[in-house]
Chains A and B, each alone.
Chain A
Amino acid sequence: MSQTMPTATQRRLRTYAFWAVPVLLLLLPLATNPYTQFIANGMLISVLVTLGFTLTIGNLGQLAFANTAFFGIGAYASAILAAKLGVPWLLTIPLAGAFGALGGFLASAAALRGIRTYYLAIITLAFGELMRWAYLHAKPVTGGTDGMPMPREALFGISLGDDSLKFYIFLGVTVLLVKATLNLMRSRFGRAVMAVRENEIATASLAIPTARVILVTFMWSGFVVGCAGALFARHVGHVFPESFGMLHLIASFAMVLVGGLGSVLGAVLGAVLLTALPEYLRAFPGMEELFFGLIVAGVLVAMPMGLASLLRRLSPVFVERFYREAP
């Protein structure tokens, strides 16, 4: 599908819009109650999880499903560092990201050995299940089935159990990582990522180190999702192995597809919509799963390229530089 690229004015408008959204969101806690604030916080976490996922599956074009493993690694790293070693939770966020990146490094090993498509999918799925086995059985470290509670902490005299305070921290981390990812994807490295997706052999013939591109993309994806894991640990206050199973992976995959595969804007839209939707569907007890499935299927039938494609059609402002829809 041909896309009209934005003009210089439209690009400026896009930059203003990028910063206007988080600035306006600073006022959100004035309009929420603890429940709606909790949901908003969950949306920010989902944005990061979806962003990390779309990088490997959408931008890099690797059928890799280690996303939930990175998420669990980040959450457990944060909980263990905070609960067992007394590291302040804020400091655990980049550390959890580093552990997530390490997970990305391990997951990329299969891709670097030339394993692709369904084979890569099954290996990365197995990696996720292996991690879940580890959470369950490494009881002295992870708490086993009892999980790992986050210690109570305060920041500036306000408890970190407070959802509004958490929102500001989550928002800061999310904006930082979304902006960093956008910059990365607009850079020469981002073009190399797209090139690998389109044709890895042709990319290598241009002296682009494709192995390094794959490795770094997996590691950045792991870092972003690992940070999201640290936010999740504080969000729920208690990390359990069940939170990192197949259901979470399917939900994240649905967010990627509904938003638009490989689109940063799509990651945000998909995460926000599919985090909010189940809460709206609480009004239909017993029918939530049915309605959720129908709505997701409906969006994908009407907009196979996701919600981001709708916005791109509305205005070139929403066209992401170097983004190309998957064939």
Chain B
Amino acid sequence: MGSGPNQKRQQAALGTDIQQENNMKRVATLLATLAVAAVPAFAQDAEWETEGLSDDAITIGVMGPFSGNASSYSKALVGMMAYYDKINEEGGVHGRKLVAVQEDTACDSAKGLAAAKKLISQDKVFMLQGNSCSGVAVALRPTIEDAGLPWIVAHAVSDSISDPLAKNIFHGVPTGRANGRAMAAFVLSKPDTGNVAIIEHSNDWAHSYSNPAREYLEENGVTPSLELIMERGQTDATAQVLKLRQEKPDFIIAALYEAETAIFLRDLKKYGMGDVPVMGTAGTDLENTLKRTGDFDTVKNYYVIHSYVDNLDGPLMKPWGDMIHKYNPDEELSTFSFVSIGSAEALVAALEAVGPDLTRSKLMAALEEVRDFDTGILSDPITWTPEDHQGVKGSAVAGFVDGEPTVLKAWGQPY
């Protein structure tokens, strides 16, 4: 073999090629390693089944808006955690305490996702329960569905959180659709109601009530005779009321915020229509509306969705209020304070049913066996089946009867 300059150059070139090839291999190996490391391992093995579980504790991730401008919604989780405290004081479930790990979503989808990922991958909680703010809950759905751990939605109402069905997501409060249908069902429970008008805001919040209400009416052979818009911030409803006066409806469905509801009711009375009953949403409160109008005659025929078995200060709600105050003495009770207790009761019942040999899959199977579960606080029972995880299908209604706020099952039927 010669060793001329050409051969040296060839050897050098060959050496460079080999070096480049080696470098390429190293880069490829590094990239492959990175790619493998990048794939999250959500293998649902035995370890996964009991993650967040110990002999004496079940860790439950509780997400809610504990900061930010929607933090008042975090009151919705107070009742649920007071119920955990009550169960713990009674010895827990099969000897295990319910340990809540709270994370703030600030009612913001990015912060909510961070909270969910922290609870799932860092705190490694056994399950999740809670969530106000439907937008955040909708954004969380793909992440939690992929993670596979049980999640009971205890406050947010958007139907798209739990529909289409996800194996591990359970809705423990009436959804927007359930409330809308409950509004229409109450309207049609009034004898001889065939002429129904709808007035609403032109936003999605209003449509989330009016669309299912309209659907229920049409299923029962009633087409709304008049559909009107009253925009947010409007301070006068004369035009709408005059149209309604021509149509003479038997009942009016009003998907309006509380301020506009008060204006609408005031104008109804002003134009001599104060005797026409009006069905409002869960976004309004009977007594608050009375305070806003300052005139009982304007609200005497006003009815609102009310998810509970009694008035907040009624005897059936008193034990629950006492329970909340026992563990949170300074808590000022509102409608929100009680909303998540029912789903916490259903959870505890399912945990009891599973027995001491608890796994995530067993819990989800037990949740799917919950049928007509009477919580003693929600007006309607909870039923979860393998085909339907939207557990609460209806809601009661509150209205003034003989001048007193009264919870009603149907027209003229106290709860």
B122 within 8 A of A: yes
Question: Nearest Cβ in chain A — how far from B117, in angstroms?
Answer: 4
Q: How many residues of B contact A (CB 8 A)?
A: 38
A35 within 8 A of B: yes
Within 8 A of A (CB), among B67-117: 67-69, 102-104, 107-111, 113-115, 117
Determine the distance from Cα of A285 to Cα of B111 in the docked complex, in whole angstroms. Answer: 14
Determine the distance from Cα of A146 to Cα of B37 in the docked complex, in whole angstroms. Answer: 34
Question: Nearest Cβ in chain A — how far from B210, in angstroms?
Answer: 14
- Do residues A161 and B146 form an inter-chain contact, with CB atoms below 8 A? yes
Which residues on A sit within 8 Å (CB–CB) of B122?
A: 33, 35-36
A144 within 8 A of B: yes
Determine the distance from Cα of A85 to Cα of B115 in the docked complex, in whole angstroms. Answer: 32
- Do residues B108 and A29 form an inter-chain contact, with CB atoms below 8 A? no
Which residues on A sit within 8 Å (CB–CB) of B118?
A: 35, 282
- Do residues B35 and A42 form an inter-chain contact, with CB atoms below 8 A? no
Which residues on B sit within 8 Å (CB–CB) of A86?
A: none
B135 within 8 A of A: yes
Task: Decide: A288 near B67, CB < 8 A? Known: A146-B160, A240-B135.
Answer: yes
Pick the interface stretch among A100-108, A175-183, A231-239, A252-260: A231-239
Determine the distance from Cα of A288 to Cα of B38 in the docked complex, in whole angstroms. Answer: 31
B234 within 8 A of A: no
Interface string of B185-215 (1 = CB under 8 A from A): 0000000000000000001110000000000
Closest to A248 in B: B108
B121 within 8 A of A: yes
Chain B at the A interface: mostly helix, strand, loop or mixed? helix
Interface centre among A39, A165, A282 (most CB of B within 10 A): A282
Which residues on A sit within 8 Å (CB–CB) of B104?
A: 282, 285, 288
Question: Nearest Cβ in chain A — how far from B34, in angstroms?
Answer: 6
Question: Nearest Cβ in chain B — how far from A19, in angstroms?
Answer: 16
Question: Nearest Cβ in chain B — how far from A93, in angstroms?
Answer: 18
- Do residues B35 and A158 form an inter-chain contact, with CB atoms below 8 A? yes
A153 within 8 A of B: no
Which residues on B sit within 8 Å (CB–CB) of A163?
A: 40, 117
Interface centre among A34, A247, A278, A279 (most CB of B within 10 A): A34
- Do residues A147 and B135 form an inter-chain contact, with CB atoms below 8 A? yes
Question: Nearest Cβ in chain B — how far from A98, in angstroms?
Answer: 24
- Do residues B103 and A282 form an inter-chain contact, with CB atoms below 8 A? yes
Task: Decide: A165 near B38, CB < 8 A? Known: A33-B121, A238-B139, A286-B66.
Answer: yes
Within 8 A of A (CB), among B135-190: 135, 138-139, 142-143, 146, 158, 160
Task: Decide: A158 near B39, CB < 8 A? Known: A30-B34, A136-B203, A235-B110.
Answer: yes
Question: Nearest Cβ in chain A — how far from B288, in angstroms?
Answer: 23
Task: Decide: A35 near B117, CB < 8 A? Known: A144-B203, A235-B110.
Answer: yes
- Do residues A145 and B37 form an inter-chain contact, with CB atoms below 8 A? no
Question: Nearest Cβ in chain B — how far from A263, in angstroms?
Answer: 25
Question: Nearest Cβ in chain A — how far from B147, in angstroms?
Answer: 9
B120 within 8 A of A: yes
- Do residues A286 and B67 form an inter-chain contact, with CB atoms below 8 A? yes
Which residues on B sit within 8 Å (CB–CB) of A136?
A: 203
Question: Nearest Cβ in chain A — how far from B319, in angstroms?
Answer: 28
A243 within 8 A of B: yes
Within 8 A of A (CB), among B50-80: 66-69
Determine the distance from Cα of A139 to Cα of B205 in the docked complex, in whole angstroms. Answer: 13
A147 in complex: contacting residue of B103, B138, B205, CB < 8 Å: B138
- Do residues B35 and A156 form an inter-chain contact, with CB atoms below 8 A? yes
Interface string of A160-203 (1 = CB under 8 A from B): 01111100100000000000000000000000000000000000
Determine the distance from Cα of A188 to Cα of B372 in the docked complex, in whole angstroms. Answer: 74
Task: Decide: A236 near B35, CB < 8 A? Known: A146-B204, A282-B104.
Answer: no
Task: Decide: A237 near B139, CB < 8 A? Known: A29-B37, A33-B121.
Answer: yes
Determine the distance from Cα of A33 to Cα of B114 in the docked complex, in whole angstroms. Answer: 12
Determine the distance from Cα of A4 to Cα of B374 in the docked complex, in whole angstroms. Answer: 75
- Do residues A162 and B204 form an inter-chain contact, with CB atoms below 8 A? no
Which residues on A sit within 8 Å (CB–CB) of B113?
A: 38, 236-237
- Do residues A285 and B37 form an inter-chain contact, with CB atoms below 8 A? no
Within 8 A of A (CB), among B8-58: 33-35, 37-40
Which residues on A sit within 8 Å (CB–CB) of B39?
A: 158, 162, 164
Which residues on A sit within 8 Å (CB–CB) of B135?
A: 145, 147, 240, 242
Closest to B141 in A: A238
Question: Nearest Cβ in chain A — how far from B76, in angstroms?
Answer: 16
Task: Decide: A34 near B111, CB < 8 A? Known: A145-B204, A242-B135, A285-B66.
Answer: no
Q: Knowing that A42-B114, A242-B107 are A-B contacts, what are 9 other residue pairs whose CB atoms are under 8 Å apart, sorted by A's residue number?
A: A33-B122, A144-B203, A162-B39, A240-B109, A242-B108, A247-B108, A282-B104, A282-B115, A285-B102
Contacts A/B (CB < 8 Å), 28 sampled: A29-B34, A30-B37, A34-B117, A36-B122, A38-B117, A139-B204, A145-B135, A145-B204, A146-B138, A146-B160, A147-B138, A158-B38, A161-B142, A161-B146, A164-B40, A165-B35, A168-B34, A232-B110, A235-B110, A236-B110, A236-B113, A237-B142, A242-B108, A247-B108, A282-B115, A282-B118, A286-B67, A288-B104
Q: List the 6 closest pairs (A to B, CB-CB), nearest first.
A: A164-B38, A145-B204, A35-B117, A238-B139, A34-B121, A35-B118
